[in-house]
Amino acid sequence: MFSHKDILNSCTRVFKHLAAHGQPLDYNLVSLVLLPVSHIMEKIHGYFSPLLLGGTLGFASSYENLLMDIATIRPTWLTWVPRLAAVLFLSFQKGFMSTKDGRIAWEKAMDVAVRATKALEDHNGYINLTIPIPDQLEEPLRQEWIESYNSVYWRFHHVLGGQLKNFIIGAAYLDIDLQRKLVGMGLPIILGYGLTESAAGIALSCPDKYKIGWISPPTPGVEFRQNEDGELLIKGLGVIDSYYNNIEATRESVTSDGWFKTGDIAEMDDNGYIRIVDRKKLLIVLDNGKKISQARLEALCGTSPLIDQVAIVGQDREYISALIVPNYDFILRVLRSHGIPFDESQVVYQDINDISTCVEVGMDIMQNDLVRLAMQDQIDMINSKLREYETIKTFRLMRHRFCEEDGELSHANKLKMKTILEKYQDVIEDMYRMQAN
C-alpha cells in the first residue's frame, strides 16, 4: 500500500543518489518507456521520475520496432531488464563473428573492454564513470580502446541513440562478465535493486564509485540491515509498512520494529555496497548442503542465443539439471540455411510482444543431432564459468514454450517453478534416472 508521498519519495531518492555521486540530472532527460507501465521499475524509473524533472517521455511502439524507436527518440535514460541487454549484445556478437575480420575485431575489442575496466579499478574496486574511459587510461591501452571504439563500440552507442547517459538495468541478475564488457565499451550501465514493496530502486550503481558485480549502499532516506541468514531487511522512504487489507502478509513480512523482509539473500561489503545472491526461497540446496543461486544460472543461460527459457532443477538432488526451451526461431533459421528437413506441420507460431514467435516444434527437431550437439556446446560454455558443484550435468529440450495460459508463467513473465516441477515431474525423474545409469 503506497501513498502519493511514497511514490514521490521513491522518485526523488533516485535523483538525490545520482547527484550525490557526480551525476546531477535536469529537465533535459529523455526517457524511452518500453516495459509495461504496470511494472514498478518502469513506472518509477522510466515514467514518473522523468516527469518529476520536467523531462520528456517517448513510448516504444513495440519490441519489434524498438531499435527504430530508439533512433527516433534518442533517449538519455533507458530502463531495461538484463535479458534485453544480453539479446542486444548477442546480436552484435553474431554479426561480427560472421566474418574472419569481424571476429578478430570483436574478440580484440572485448579483451580491451575487460582490461580497461580492470585498469580503472582503485584499491576498493571502484571505477569513476563520470569521466570518459579513454581520458583515464594510460598508453598503450588508451590507444587500443580508441581503436576498439572506432571498430566496434561506436555501433552500440549508435544503436542506442548516441545520447544515452543512464542505462538502468534491474529486475533480475546481470551476468558479471557481460556487465564488465558493456561498461568497458563506455556504456553507462546502472544496476538497480528494488522490489514492488519498495517502489522500485532503493540501490543504484554510483557513477563516481562504480563497482562491477555490486550495486550500492541504500539511496537517501532508506536503510539496510541483514538478518542472521543474510536476508536483506529495509525500511525508509517509499518502503511499505503494511499490505492493503492483509494483516497476515504484513505480520509475515514486517518486523515488530518496522523493517521489511525482502526475501532476498544479500552480501554486503565494508562500505555498505550490496549484491543479491538470490531469492531466499529460490536458493537451490543440493543433497550435500551446497547452496546454488538459481538466478545466476538462469542469467548465464540467458546469455546464450540458443536458449529462450530455462527451468533450473536440483533441490535436494545430487547435482543440477535443467529443462531448456530452445530459441526455436534461431534453430529453424539454422536448419533452413543448411537445408536440413523437418516437419513444418508441427511448428506453431504466436504473437509475443507483437512479434510472431515460434512457440512449439516437433520432436524431430528436439532429437536432431545438430540441435543437441549445439545445445551441449552452449551448456559447456556456461559450465566453464561455474564451480564444479554448480554446473548443469544434464538437460532436456522442451518442444513447447512455457506460457502463462498453461500456468507456467506469471503475469510478470517469470517461471512458476512449483507448477513446472509438478507438471514435468516424470521428465525430471527420467532425466536423473538416465544420468545415474
Cα distance between residue 32 and residue 46, in whole Å: 7
Q: What is the pLDDT of residue 302?
A: 86
351 forms beta bridges with 356
SS (H, E, C) the chain: CCCHHHHHHHHHHHHHHHHHCCCCCCCCCEEEECCCCCCHHHHHHHHHHHHHCCCEEEECCCCCCHHHHHHHHCCCEEEECHHHHHHHHHHHHHHHHCCHHHHHHHHHHHHHHHHHHHHHCCCCCEECCCCCHHHHCCCCHHHHHHHHHHHHHHHHHHHCCCCCCEEEECCCCCCHHHHHHHHHCCCCEEEEEEEHHHCEEEEECCHHHEECCCCCCCCCCEEEEECCCCEEEEEECCCCCCCCCCHHHHHHHECCCCCEEEEEEEEECCCCCEEEEEEHHHEEECCCCCEEEHHHHHHHHHCCCCEEEEEEECCCCCCEEEEEEECHHHHHHHHHHCCCCCCHHHCEEEEECCEEEEEECCHHHHCCHHHHHHHHHHHHHHHCCCCHHHCEEEEEECCECCCCCCCCECCCCCECHHHHHHHCHHHHHHHHHHHHC
The proportion of the chain whose per-residue pLDDT surpasses 90, expressed as a percent, equals 76
Q: What is the pLDDT of residue 173?
A: 82
Q: How confident is the model at residue 425 (pLDDT cuts 50, 70, 90)?
A: very high
**Chain Cα centroid distance, residue 422:** 27
Distant-in-sequence, close-in-space partners of 220: CB < 8 Å, separation ≥ 6 = 13, 16, 17, 20, 237
Q: What is the pLDDT of residue 226?
A: 93
For residue range 86-99, what is the model confidence (pLDDT) as tens digits? 889 988 998 999 89
Domain ranges of the chain: 1-279, 286-436
pLDDT at 355 over 80: no
Q: Apex CA 133: angle with CA 132 and CA 139, to 5°?
A: 125
Average pLDDT of the residues in 103-122: 97
Cα distance between residue 355 and residue 62, in whole Å: 8
For residue range 314-352, what is the model confidence (pLDDT) as tens digits? 999 999 999 999 999 999 998 998 899 999 999 999 987
Average pLDDT of the residues in 265-276: 93
pLDDT at 422 over 80: yes
For residue range 118-130, what is the model confidence (pLDDT) as tens digits? 999 999 999 999 9
Q: How many residues does the chain have?
A: 437
Q: What is the pLDDT of residue 22?
A: 95
For residue range 216-265, what is the model confidence (pLDDT) as tens digits? 999 999 999 999 888 999 999 999 989 999 999 999 999 999 999 999 99
Average pLDDT of the residues in 423-432: 93
As a CATH number, domain 1-279 is 3.40.50.12780
> Taking Cα atoms as reference points, which of 303, 295, 307 lies closest to residue 397?
307
CA separation, residue 334 to residues 130, 245, 349, 364, 379 (Å)? 43, 53, 17, 15, 18
**Chain Cα centroid distance, residue 249:** 28
Q: Please give the grid coordinates belonging to residue 170.
A: 534491474
For residue range 12-70, what is the model confidence (pLDDT) as tens digits? 999 999 999 999 999 999 999 988 878 888 999 999 999 999 999 999 988 888 899 99
Phi, psi angles (nearest 5°) of residue 178: -65, -40
The β-bridge relationship of strands 320-326 and 392-397 is: parallel
Q: What is the pLDDT of residue 37?
A: 79
Q: Provide the mean pLDDT of the chain.
A: 92
Rounded to two decimals, what is the model's pTM? 0.81
CA separation, residue 398 to residues 372, 402, 409 (Å)? 12, 9, 15
Strands across the sheet containing 200-204 = 56-59, 30-33, 77-80, 166-169, 189-195, 200-204
Q: What is the pLDDT of residue 94?
A: 87
> Taking Cα atoms as reference points, which of 311, 263, 336 lies closest to residue 421?
311
Phi, psi angles (nearest 5°) of residue 310: -145, 135
Q: For 102-116, 283-297, 394-408, which range has the lowest pLDDT when averaged over its residues?
A: 283-297
Q: What is the pLDDT of residue 412?
A: 65
Cα distance between residue 318 and residue 325, in whole Å: 23
Cα distance between residue 295 and residue 85, in whole Å: 16
For residue range 135-175, what is the model confidence (pLDDT) as tens digits? 999 999 999 999 999 999 999 999 999 999 999 998 888 88
Q: What is the pLDDT of residue 72?
A: 95
Q: What is the pLDDT of residue 437?
A: 62
Q: What is the pLDDT of residue 278?
A: 80
Task: Decide if domain 286-436 falls under CATH 3.40.50.12280.
Answer: no
Q: What is the pLDDT of residue 36?
A: 80
Q: How confident is the model at residue 291 (pLDDT cuts 50, 70, 90)?
A: confident
Contact 407, 419 (CB under 8 A): yes
Radius of gyration in angstroms for the set of CA atoms belonging to the chain, rounded to a whole number = 22
Q: How confident is the model at residue 436 (pLDDT cuts 50, 70, 90)?
A: low
295 forms beta bridges with none
Contact 395, 324 (CB under 8 A): yes
